[in-house]
């Protein structure tokens, strides 16, 4: 068992069928898309050479292996190259965890476009196929947060022949076999791809999107285009899409069908080395591999439908689960590794407790294009069952050499609350967390939660009650850590203050807060750009200025002394100076008075940066008081 070749010497004089260009360092692990595609093609008998993080300034860097027999495969890496390179504040990141030694600057901005054009410069007549997350999210016209404008399909800007979107194993095998038979790339017409067609070609059975010119010049047209794309992501129900440009016509074929369970297992049973290439050892390895090296992917897809998540555009909403046998086989391989310490870091996927489609109808009719499975309330057809996942985790923790199995992927607590049995939650608390469980209520304002596609905060409180009661029964003291997001579309200063007051009343002290990051392919990003809800046309407040974003973020951590002035300004602008003072409900104290009276400046005393997410006893007491007040009102 060896790594895929990364040097000309390792090819031993052979001509590769494909050269796989990636913006990440080469990590031969099933959590890295480039490795998966390389191994899948290798299993089909194709020779794949990996060109990881080439010098994009020099076309000669793309000639290392010579011209491949069938073509170049190009991916920006595991995440969008712009997200990899920039923070939400549009500042250059100081580290790139997908590069050797976390060294920044080894991948270009908009990697697909840069790589594609350099390849075309080196070999004018070679085949170029785009794939991966960046390709999926940029496959048609899309709002680019860093440019602040609507950009064209990456297929056109990268001078590529084919763009594979979604989880590309099925499509890439079909493409490779057709190219091997001599079929021109321009004639390949299969599911799961985006292609360029002549302007004179007649295309039937497709949905016509607003043209690129219309989408770029009109926010209403862009919103319409986005919704048509959003509603056509299911392999059963989706139709093809046509997008016209002044000089081209781009067609998105319907999505490829998900892999069967046998095919899904087969991908993860391939001969991965499960580590970065040894060439990176001198640099300290590749940090992104550290967490996933002892983790297992158990599922794909997510029907959770969070509007700020791009999974609907990439993996889709149809959930697939690997077989227990395949997962246990992988666990056995991990356990035999001499570096293994006995701890499985995660068994999950986009959402850990999703292991199958949300209802039987999805396998027949596809995912509902205009309805969500969990929002605004769980669908009446939702099938809730954690028994398969509970059984899987139990089998894993009973394997030889396993000390502990953690679940660190997201848990959808609103789905879990629909389960009549508490067996899974009890075992999760007892065996699969260590001191704390992270969940994502994201906000408390109904107005904001509606735009996020998240359940009302009462669901979080109900889950918290259940979580605490089970911990008490087990004699355990474990915390619940809430993820919170600031500046999501729909959130103004009043909604941010509403969140701060809730955190005050509940005794929650967040260690960190996340600013909304507008990335291509999400409904929330469409709202951010258009300032309207594309589903209804309703106007939506969007925090776009860095200063308003800073105020909203500061309100989540209003206790921190360094946030005092921002919180004071936000409260003043919102007409809520009643929250500045010495009363118990105040968020902050006036600094000028606090200094003269010798009192701490924050509303609840000084808090250290990075303080724990909250004292569970205080949270419980605060919640009981809130419930008592509700009962009295009734």
Interval 86-119: pLDDT, tens = 999 999 999 999 999 999 999 999 999 999 999 9
Q: Which residues contact 202 (CB under 8 A, 6 or more apart)?
A: none
Given 132, 165, 199, the domain boundary residue is 199
224 with 210: CB under 8 angstroms? Answer: yes
Q: Where are the beta strands (DSSP E) in 53-201?
A: 71-75, 128-130, 142-144, 149-151, 162-164, 193-197
442 with 449: CB under 8 angstroms? Answer: yes
Distance CA 13, CA 8 (A): 7
Tell me what percent of the chain is helix, strand and coil, each rounded to the nearest 5.
40, 15, 45
Q: Assess whether 20 and 156 both reside in one domain.
A: yes
In a domain, 454, yes or no: no
Q: Where are the beta strands (DSSP E) in 178-267?
A: 193-197, 206-208, 240-245, 248-252
Nearest to 298 by CA among 318, 270, 317, 324: 324
Distances (CA, A) of 227 to 172, 239, 241, 245, 465: 27, 13, 12, 19, 38
Residue 572 has pLDDT above 80, yes or no: yes
In a domain, 626, yes or no: no
Q: Assess whether 192 and 298 both reside in one domain.
A: no
Look at the chain and report how many structural domains it folds into: 2
Helix (H) / strand (E) containing 264: helix 261-268
According to DSSP, the residues that pair with 163 across neighbouring strands are: 130, 194
Residue 595 has pLDDT above 70, yes or no: no
**pLDDT band, very low/low/confident/very high, at 617 (cuts 50, 70, 90):** low
Residue 191 has pLDDT above 60, yes or no: yes
How much is the pLDDT for 604?
Answer: 44
Residue 606 has pLDDT above 60, yes or no: no
206-260: per-residue pLDDT in tens? 999 999 999 999 999 999 999 999 999 999 999 999 999 999 999 999 999 999 9
> Residue 89, exposed/middle/buried by CB under 10 A (0-12, 13-18, 19+)?
exposed
Mean pLDDT on 348-377 = 93
Distance CA 453, CA 574 (A): 26
67: number of Cβ within 10 Å:
16
In a domain, 316, yes or no: yes
In a domain, 420, yes or no: yes
Distance CA 114, CA 43 (A): 29
Q: Assess whether 193 and 303 both reside in one domain.
A: no
Residue 436 is given by DSSP the state E
Three-state secondary structure call for residue 242: strand
Residue 278 has pLDDT above 60, yes or no: yes
* 14 alpha carbon, distance to own chain's centre: 38
Q: Assess whether 195 and 299 both reside in one domain.
A: no
Given 383, 405, 434, the domain boundary residue is 434
Distance CA 506, CA 621 (A): 8
In a domain, 18, yes or no: yes
Residue 614 has pLDDT above 90, yes or no: no
User: For the chain, what percent of residues have pLDDT higher than 70?
Assistant: 93
**pLDDT band, very low/low/confident/very high, at 312 (cuts 50, 70, 90):** confident
Mean pLDDT of the chain: 93
Q: Assess whether 317 and 424 both reside in one domain.
A: yes
Q: In the numeric block, which tokens belong to residue 486?
A: 């600031």
Locus of tokens 């047209």: 221
438-465: per-residue pLDDT in tens? 999 999 999 999 999 999 999 999 999 9
Q: Assess whether 185 and 319 both reside in one domain.
A: no
In a domain, 310, yes or no: yes
Given 386, 415, 434, the domain boundary residue is 434
Strands 248-252 and 193-197: antiparallel
Number of H helices, E strands in the chain: 25, 22
In a domain, 610, yes or no: no
CATH number at residue 375: 3.30.750.210
267 with 40: CB under 8 angstroms? Answer: yes
Q: Residue length, the chain?
A: 634
How much is the pLDDT for 600?
Answer: 46
Q: Assess whether 165 and 298 both reside in one domain.
A: no
- Domain range enclosing 360: 294-434
474-496: per-residue pLDDT in tens? 999 999 999 999 999 999 999 99
Within 475-563, residue ranges assigned H as helices are 493-506, 523-530, 546-556
User: For the chain, what percent of residues have pLDDT higher than 90?
Assistant: 89
Phi, psi of 509 (to 5 degrees): -120, 90
In a domain, 96, yes or no: yes
**pLDDT band, very low/low/confident/very high, at 539 (cuts 50, 70, 90):** very high
Residue 92 is given by DSSP the state B
Residue 621 has pLDDT above 90, yes or no: no
32-61: per-residue pLDDT in tens? 999 999 999 999 999 999 999 999 999 999
Identify whether 37 is preceded by a cis peptide bond (ω within 30 of 0): no
HEC per residue, 22-43: ECCCCEECCCCHHHHHHHHHHH
Identify whether 376 is preceded by a cis peptide bond (ω within 30 of 0): yes
**pLDDT band, very low/low/confident/very high, at 524 (cuts 50, 70, 90):** very high
- For the ranges 229-238, 427-436, 484-493, 598-607, the lowest mean pLDDT is seen at 598-607
State in Å, rounded, how far the first CA of the chain is from the last one.
69
Distance CA 428, CA 448 (A): 30
Distance CA 428, CA 422 (A): 10
């Amino acid at each position: 068992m060896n790594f895929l070749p990364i040097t000309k010497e390792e090819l031993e004089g052979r001509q590769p069928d494909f050269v796989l260009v990636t913006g990440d360092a080469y990590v031969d692990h099933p959590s890295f898309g480039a490795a998966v595609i390389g191994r899948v093609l290798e299993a089909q008998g194709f020779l794949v050479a990996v060109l990881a993080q080439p010098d994009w300034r020099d076309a000669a860097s793309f000639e290392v292996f010579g011209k491949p027999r069938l073509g170049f495969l190009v991916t920006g890496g595991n995440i969008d190259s712009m997200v990899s390179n920039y923070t939400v504040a549009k500042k250059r990141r100081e580290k790139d965890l997908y590069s050797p030694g976390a060294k920044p600057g080894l991948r270009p901005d908009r990697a697909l476009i840069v790589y594609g054009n350099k390849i075309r410069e080196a070999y004018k007549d070679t085949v170029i196929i785009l794939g991966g997350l960046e390709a999926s999210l940029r496959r048609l016209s899309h709002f680019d947060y860093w440019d602040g404008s609507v950009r064209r399909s990456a297929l056109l800007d990268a001078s590529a022949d084919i763009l594979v979107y979604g989880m590309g194993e099925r499509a890439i095998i079909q493409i490779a076999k057709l190219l091997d038979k001599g079929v021109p790339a321009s004639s390949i017409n299969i599911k799961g791809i985006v292609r360029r067609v002549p302007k004179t070609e007649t295309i039937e059975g497709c949905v016509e999107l607003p043209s690129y010119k219309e989408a770029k010049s009109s926010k209403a047209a862009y919103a319409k285009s986005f919704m048509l794309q959003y509603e056509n992501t299911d392999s059963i129900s989706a139709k093809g899409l046509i997008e016209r440009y002044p000089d081209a016509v781009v067609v998105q074929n319907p999505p490829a069908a998900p892999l069967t369970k046998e095919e899904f297992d087969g991908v993860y049973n391939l001969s991965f080395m499960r580590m970065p290439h040894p060439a990176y050892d001198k640099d300290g390895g590749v940090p992104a591999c550290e967490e996933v090296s002892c983790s297992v992917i158990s599922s794909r897809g997510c029907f959770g439908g969070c509007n700020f998540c791009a999974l609907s555009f990439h993996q889709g909403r149809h959930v697939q689960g690997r077989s227990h046998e395949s997962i246990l086989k992988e666990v056995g391989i991990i356990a035999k590794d001499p570096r293994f310490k006995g701890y499985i870091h995660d068994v999950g996927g986009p959402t850990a407790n999703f292991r199958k489609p949300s209802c039987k109808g999805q396998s027949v009719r596809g995912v509902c294009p205009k309805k969500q499975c969990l929002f605004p309330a769980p669908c009446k057809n939702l099938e809730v069952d954690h028994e398969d996942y509970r059984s899987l985790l139990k089998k894993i923790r009973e394997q030889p050499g396993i000390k502990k199995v953690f679940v660190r992927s997201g848990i959808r607590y609103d789905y879990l609350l629909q389960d009549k049995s508490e067996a899974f939650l009890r075992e999760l608390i007892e065996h699969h967390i260590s001191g704390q469980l992270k969940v994502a209520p994201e906000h408390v304002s109904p107005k904001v939660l509606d735009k996020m596609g998240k359940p009302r905060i009462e669901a979080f409180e109900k889950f918290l009650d259940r979580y605490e009661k089970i911990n008490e029964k087990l004699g355990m003291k474990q915390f619940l850590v809430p993820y919170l997001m600031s500046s999501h579309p729909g959130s103004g200063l009043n909604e941010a203050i509403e969140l701060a007051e809730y955190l005050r009343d509940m005794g929650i002290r967040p260690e960190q807060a996340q600013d909304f990051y507008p990335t291509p392919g999400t409904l929330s990003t469409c709202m951010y750009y258009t300032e309207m809800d594309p589903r209804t046309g309703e106007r939506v407040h969007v925090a776009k200025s860095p200063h308003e974003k800073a105020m909203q973020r500061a309100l989540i951590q209003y206790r921190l002394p360094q946030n005092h002035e921002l919180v004071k300004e936000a409260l003043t602008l919102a007409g809520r100076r009643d929250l500045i003072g010495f009363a118990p409900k105040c968020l902050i104290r006036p600094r000028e008075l606090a200094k003269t009276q010798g009192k701490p400046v924050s509303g609840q005393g000084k808090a250290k940066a990075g303080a724990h997410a909250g004292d569970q006893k205080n949270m419980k007491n605060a919640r009981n008081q809130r419930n008592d007040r509700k009962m009295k009102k009734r």
